[in-house]
Chains A and B, each alone.
Chain A
Amino acid sequence: MKIHPPPKILQPAKIAAAAAIAAGIACLALAPVIGAAAFTSLWGIEPLSYIGGILLIAGLTAAVLAYAAQNNATPAEQNRHWIETTRQFFEVFDHDLGRPLRRIAGKERELRAALQAAGEPENPAVRELLDEIERQTPNFRLMLSNIQVLVQLQAPGAAPAAAPVEPSEVVRRIADRYTPVAAEADKEITWWAEPADFGMVASDSHAIEHIVTNLVDNAVSHASNSVQVSLSKDNAQFYVTVWDDGPGIAPHYLDHLFDRGWTPEVGRREEKTSSGLGLFIARTLARRCNGEVTVESIAAPQPNHHTTFQLALPLKAQ
């Protein structure tokens, strides 16, 4: 959908308007001199004056319209240009940041394997360092994709892509990625699909993966022991439910959970430990796919305290 004329038409329009104005002024100026000679029959005044007047008015109108159109187009053009530049910056940034991160992660894993093979008594400080590097890796992956999705979300008119997706495969991948992270912290992730043979849906696989990754990442960091991820569906929608047995979220915080930049520390006026973008992005992305992310929680000290996030998306995207 293009509301504004592309700038290629604007430039000739401006030139034509300037030419018409110049010709009009020339006609008006020449009318008293050559008007009588050029036209045999005179009406009220020389016809050249009429022609000059008409040309002047037409030229001015065209000029005003061209400039108005340009002024209208400018913000959108600038916006598009800005988004394109941001996207290119992001790619460079992703590549340049990704490379050292891969090197660090690679060296860490290699060192860990070498230490294990050597069977040397482990230095707790070394072990702690290696664990910390390993723990941060999924954070980097999520952070990079959060920034990228944020850039994409700002793009005007960017429609979600609907293609055949197997949601159980998407959930399986995310569970596989977070299982070792959870195990490090003595937590368990269990996932299942109901029905077990879940089948395909028409949806945006990036969006599903991104939203569920954010929900699972949250759940793994807040769970006490257990995270459960389940897939289900009814006639119109499918649902990914992420449950954790963590301390839960106090009712007065629930309203702010999806605000951009909000974290529990903001509520307690403490220093933020995360960007607070994950849930904001998750909900924005879900709504753009005609879906929704909802939350339900029972906060400790109640006995069965837990938090459940649910992503609902249409089985067939429009």
Chain B
Amino acid sequence: MAVNRATRKILIVDDESESAILRTVRRRLEQEGWHTAIVRPDPNSPTAKALLGDEFEAAALWSIEEQLPDAILLDVRFGDHRDDRFKGLSILDHIVNRWPKLPVLMFTQYVQGPDREAAARGALKWDAPIDFIDKLAGADEVVLRLRRLIGAAPETITIGGGITLDTAAQTIYIEQNGDRRPITGIQGMKFEILRELAAAWYRSPGELVPFSRLERYSEGEDPRASLRVRIREIKTSLGQALGTRLGPSELILNIRDKGYRLTPPRP
């Protein structure tokens, strides 16, 4: 498998980092190929007798300085003490002031509520990459938010069903039974079309790519017809490589008069 040039590192600042929800999120982040690190307050530090939030604040700022993560998962609430209710927002304030470009995903307890409103206002005020998500969110949702916060499209996108796009090598690979081979039939414009579809799917699995965006990769009097032909060829090539025939709503879905969308085979 092609090695990602830079492995992302996500720093987790949460007093419940050992909870089942956080463990699942961590596992999912590592599946994504990202490293995770957890902030733990130093039990011997002079602030160890202070509020839980204060301990985490000191430890978090120190860890950022030391580890330079690509993004931070930050809890809003630390412990049950009244003064720690919005401690995460005060930590956020420090982060934004010192590292204004560092993406922060805030974990909120409430579905809606004062902490979330404060975080939303803060994000607007600072114009910093801040987003918020509630703790009942699934690990996939957390990953999608982080992908968008971090912003960069990866060099390789694995869309499932053993299909991987390598944008650096401009090649599509299929992996079956441990055997990985390139698909030679999808190159040039056809590769670009699939790359557009995969990039949209990577950002948000349900996102449609409109014709206006795809027609730049087609030619002739009737660009939409030429696009249709290319999509059919892509599906034929991938179908052959996978040893099946892909039906009209499989892999690439057409929404009439609007555009196309990737629907990768489910595991």
Task: Mark interface residues in B206-237 (1 if CB within 8 Å of A CB, else 0).
Answer: 11101011000000000000000000000000
Which of B22, B136, B141, B206 touches A101 (beta carbons < 8 Å)? Answer: B136
Q: Which residue of B lies closest to A148 (CB)?
A: B112
> Chain A: how many interface residues by the 8 Å CB criterion?
45
A137 touches B210 (CB 8 A): no
With both chains docked as a complex, state the minimum distance between the C-beta of B205 and any C-beta of chain A, in angstroms. 5
CB-contact partner of A179 in B21, B27, B206, under 8 A: B206
Contact B20 A191 (CB under 8 A): no
A137 to B22, CA, bound (A): 16
A245 to B52, alpha carbons, bound, how many Å? 51
- With contacts A113-B27, A205-B120 taken as known, whether A145 is within 8 angstroms of B111 at the C-beta atoms is yes
B23 nearest CB neighbor, chain A only: A110
Given contacts A148-B113, A176-B141, contact A102 B135 (CB under 8 A): yes
Instruction: Check: B189 CB closer than 8 A to any chain A CB.
Output: no
Contact B111 A103 (CB under 8 A): no
Asked if B136 contacts A137 (CB within 8 A), the reply is yes
In angstroms, Cα B207 to Cα A105, docked, is 27
A176, B110: Cβ atoms closer than 8 Å:
no
Q: Which residue of B lies closest to A111 (CB)?
A: B20
Residue A212 is within 8 A (CB to CB) of chain B in the complex? no
Within 8 A of A (CB), among B244-267: 253, 255, 258-259, 261, 263, 266
A93 to B139, CA, bound (A): 24
Task: Tell yes or no: B68 within 8 A of A by CB.
Answer: no
Interface centre among A94, A106, A175, A230 (most CB of B within 10 A): A106
B263 A188 Cβ-Cβ under 8 A: yes
User: Counting chain A CB atoms within 10 Å of each CB, which of B120, B145, B203, B205 scores highest?
Assistant: B205
Contact B136 A140 (CB under 8 A): yes
Measured CB to CB, the closest approach of chain B to A106, in angstroms, equals: 3
**Size of B's binding interface in residues, CB under 8 A:** 42
A98, A113, A191, A192: which contacts B136 (Cβ < 8 A)?
A98
Q: Which of A103-149 contact B (CB under 8 A)?
A: 103, 105-107, 109-110, 113, 134, 137, 140-141, 144-145, 148-149
Main SS of the interface on chain A?
Answer: helix
Residue interface mask A184-201, B partner, CB < 8 A = 1: 000011111010100000
In the complex, B140 has a CB within 8 A of chain A: yes
Tell me how many residue pairs across A and B have CB atoms closer than 8 Å: 112
- The answer to the question of B4 belonging to the interface, with a C-beta cut-off of 8 Å to chain A, is no
Listed residue (B20, B121, B135) with the most chain A CB atoms within 10 angstroms of its CB: B20
Contact A141 B139, CB 8 Å, known A172-B207, A192-B207:
no
A35 near B: Cβ within 8 Å? no
Chain B nearest CB: distance from A233 CB in Å? 15
Most chain B beta-carbon contacts within 10 A, residue among A91, A113, A205: A113
A95 to B109, CA, bound (A): 7
* Interface assignment of A32: CB less than 8 Å from any CB of chain B: no
Given contacts A176-B141, A180-B138, A190-B261, contact A94 B111 (CB under 8 A): yes
Q: Which of B112, B136, B208 meets A206, CB within 8 Å? A: B112
Contact A102 B21, beta carbon cutoff 8 Å: yes
1/0 contact string of B132-161 vs chain A (CB within 8 Å):
001111111100110000000000000000
A91-B110, A95-B110 known; A106+B24 contact, CB < 8 A: yes
| CB 8 Å contact bits of B107-129 with A (1 = contact, 0 = none) | 00111110001001100100000
13 more CB-based (< 8 A) A-B contacts, given A110-B20, A164-B124, A177-B137: A91-B113, A95-B109, A103-B19, A110-B23, A110-B24, A141-B136, A163-B124, A172-B207, A173-B145, A176-B140, A179-B206, A180-B140, A190-B253
Residues of B within 8 A of A (CB): 19-24, 27, 109-113, 117, 120-121, 124, 134-141, 144-145, 203-208, 210, 212-213, 253, 255, 258-259, 261, 263, 266
14 A-B pairs (CB sep. < 8 Å): A102-B21, A102-B136, A103-B19, A106-B21, A106-B22, A134-B138, A141-B134, A148-B113, A172-B203, A175-B207, A176-B141, A176-B206, A192-B207, A196-B212
- The 8 A-B residue pairs with the shortest CB-CB distance, nearest first, are A106-B20, A106-B21, A192-B208, A109-B24, A175-B206, A145-B111, A189-B206, A110-B20
